[in-house]
Every structure is written in structure tokens, then in C-alpha cells.
Structure 1
Amino acid sequence: MELTLKKRKKNSIIPGFPLTLGYTMLYLSIIVLLPLSMVFFNTVSMSWSEFYETVSHPRAVASYKLSLGTAAAAGVINVIFGTIIAWVLVRYQFPGKRIVDGLVDLPFALPTAVAGIALTTLYAPNGWIGQFFDFKISFTPLGIIIALTFIGLPFVVRTVQPVLQNLSSEVEEASASLGASRFQTFTKVIFPELLPAIITGFSLAFARALGEYGSVVFIAGNMPMKTEITPFIIMTKLEQYDYVGATAIATVMLVTSFVLLFIINLIQWVTNKKFNQQ
């Protein structure tokens, strides 16, 4: 025990482990835990029947399905195309590469309301892109997926990109020299290295999409039972001064998000453990 403490003290760059740990826990408690706990405290004031009636209302249930489904779909799309974009930015040199690399971060800097208005303008039935399709994009779940894909793309690209930069192209050349095909090289050499970063990027994009409001509320149309997302229902209840009802629905989303992220992180931990044992 004493040897462990000495080793920790020796390897620590910032002195005062108890002090820094205490500051970390205090900071996280004030910034994260305290606001989240207030959601549960407000919900406790409801009776179980009132809580169940609020969170199981058909409009609320429909919004849960829509929010979870579109967030998951956008996360999967971002995993596929975000990984491809990261690969292109790392492995190839082409004119305007720095500009393309900077455009990836644009959803971070662009206000979400501006993004929502821009996407609605593009994909509306009379919009620049929407007019060329026989089916509607705006005011449908497809439009919501597009908006969530837009705001979640940087999370996947920026988590996969550093891993690809550390993965030398010589590894691929060695695999090819040993007789492996391109598919075998990707599945046996590249993909296992990228998988932890891909899972992390998906979890970040999924979490962001699940609670997104500004970029979705315009393109969704907010039609009850069809395109009404859960954050919009929460905002509606807040505008009606139904704070308890809003926190009840927020509690369901909070618990659901925590369980899903816990499962994703568990999968990532198991994947890392298997990879390290190989």
C-alpha cells in the first residue's frame, strides 16, 4: 500500500492527489450531479399514478420511439460515413483538404436553430433539394434523421481520425505482403483498431442526437404522434408551466439514456479487453 502511494506520488505530474481529486468530484457534483438530481427531486412530488399517466401518454410514448429511433439511425449513418471521411482525411492528400477538414467542425460552431432553418429550407417540398423528390423530407422522420446526422457527424470523425493517424500505413502494406486481401486487411487489421473509437463516436453522436432540439424542431414539423420529438414535448410542458410533467418525461429520457450509454460503454470495455488480450 505504501509502495503504491509512493509510486502514485512519483508519477503524478500535478501535485496533491487528494486535493485535485476532491476538486474534481466537487466540480462534477456542482456541474453535473446537482442539476440532474433536481430532475428526480421534482418528479418525486408526483404520485405514482400521476407519474405513470404522464410518461405513458400516447403522445409521450410516440415521442420516445421517434427520438430513440431517429437518434440510433443517425448514429449508424454517422458511423459509416464518418469513418469514411476520417479515412479520406488521414490517408489521402488532395487540394482543399484543410478546408474539408475545417468543414467537419462546422456543426459545432453553427447555432442549432440556424442549422434547423437551413435544413428546412433545403429539404422543404419547394426547397432547393426537396423539390426534386416525389416524397416529403421535411416534416417527416427522414428529415429528423438528416438533421441529427448533420449535428452528430463531427463526433465520429474526430474520434476515429486520431486512431487512423496513429495506425501506420505500413501495417496495411505488411498485411498485403503476407497475402491478405483488402477485405481481410480491413476486417482483421484495421477494423479491430478502429472499433473502440467507432463505438465512442457512436455513443457521443447518439447522446447528442437524443437530446437535440434546436436543429430538429423546425424540420420536424412537430405533428403529434408523427414527428413530435421528446425534447419538444418537454419544452411545451415548460411553456405551460407544467414543470412536474416536464421533469417526469425528462426523467424517463434521462434513465433511458443512462442505461443505453452504460450498455454501449460496457460493449466498448469488453471490446478493449478482448483487443488487449490478443
Structure 2
Amino acid sequence: MHPLINVQTLAQALTDERPPILLDVRWHLAGPRGIEAYRRGHLPGAAFVDLDEDLAGPPGVLGRHPLPTAEAFTAAMRRAGVSADRLVVAYDDADSTAAARLWWTLRYFGHDRVRVLDGGYRAWVDAGRPVTTGEPEVPPGDFTARPGRLPALDADGAATLAKSGVLLDARAAERYRGEVEPVDPVAGHIPGAVNAPTLGNVGVDGRFLPPELLRERFAELGATDAADVGVYCGSGVTAAHEILALTVAGVPAALYIGSWSNWIADPAHPVAVGEF
């Protein structure tokens, strides 16, 4: 199943006898909580999923956004109406950063029918599609989380891949170089990692670049379907967006879930600064 869906195709699918489950996962790292945006307007029938509460466990040495337990994720997805046999479509404001985390996490826990609305809420509104402020009564789903269905890395695996394969750092270039660090207490990157800022995966409208352009972008960094590829970011959120872009490009990749926030929790881990 292609990981993306456009507005027209989604609108048609919502008229089916068994329409997709819509999940609104708008999230603002340094602003109002996503639930506030959801209450101001969302796709009809969409349930809200909180990235911090539903798609991550408590922050700590495992990272700022470690994976939730299978039990907690099962409960969250059932509350949102997710069932194993129903297509799920996730969306956020526009660029799919948060929606990609939901896409990856659902697939990691065993749900194969998940897509992301390309361009998100903005694309839906710009196309003149209806929105609502009413919160739907969502029938409970029957999804059961079974972890390990996608490749994932821990710190040791990321360090090995940085030497033997291609480890992409999805953060902004200035964070990769260690010039600034607005979130974590240590600046820099994993030695051997290659910078590939996730914003380079989308256009100004928030939609993903065409597959051929994504393939070209990643190939220039050594990330092809012939290489072992992994991705990390600050806490594992934007890295999932990079995984989604790589999937569109036809390049399999593993996610370092704990990412930089987990790496620096161990003072024995080396830190690099600068371009390499």
C-alpha cells in the first residue's frame, strides 16, 4: 500500500460503506497543544490522537519520545476507533511530521493499512472540503499492538550503522553541526552520520516531493535500496517523517527510536560537531 493519499482519493474513500478511520495528530512542539487546533476545526469523523500522550512513553533515558508500551498503544488506538481490518488515514497541519510518527508507530505495532494525507489539513481546506468542530462519538476499535513489525535501532545499532552503512540525521543543519541546540542539553551529532534535514522532503505546500526527486536526494547521500540505511533525529519524531520519505522513494530504512536524546543520555557516547 502506498503510504500517501491525496485529498481527492480520501474524499472518495470516505463515501465507501466502510470508510477509513481518520486520525488527527496535529502537534506543536513549542506552541499550543494539537487538541486546540482540532477543536477549532477538523475533518468530519476524525478522532484526535495526542503525540506526546498516545504515541510516546514517558520521557527519560530512552529519549524524549520513546515508544509507548504495546498495552498503552493498544488502549490509545482502540479509543481512537482503530480496528485491524480498517484503513487508517493520519493527518496533521501540512507537512506530515506528526502524521508520519503515527504512520510509523502503527506499522511497527502491526497495522499494515495506514496512509498519510499528503498536505494534511491545509490541503483539505484549500481544496474546499468540509470541516467540523463537533467531536464524534467513536466506536471502540479492536486493534491489538504487536511490536517489532518494522526495523528499529538502539544506540549500539546506530553507531554500527554509521560506520558500516548510512545513518541519516534528519535534524536541521545547524543542529547537526552543533551550532545550536534548542531542545537537548548537548549539541552535535553521532559520528559518521550524514545530515538530511527532513524539511527537504517536502515542498512549500507541505506535500512530499515526487518519488524520483526523493530518490535523487537520498542517493546523493548514499541512501539507496542497495545500502543499509537508518535514520535518527532529536527524539524520533521527524526521523519517522524521513522514513516515510524514504519509503516513498523505495528505500527501506530503520528508525533509531531514541535518537539524539537517547544517545546523549550516555556520557560515554562520542559526539561530533561540524560538517562530518
TM-score by length of 1: 0.21
Q: Which has the larger radius of gyration?
A: 1
More helix by share: 1
Structure with the higher fraction of residues in strand conformation: 2
TM superposition score normalised by structure 2: 0.21
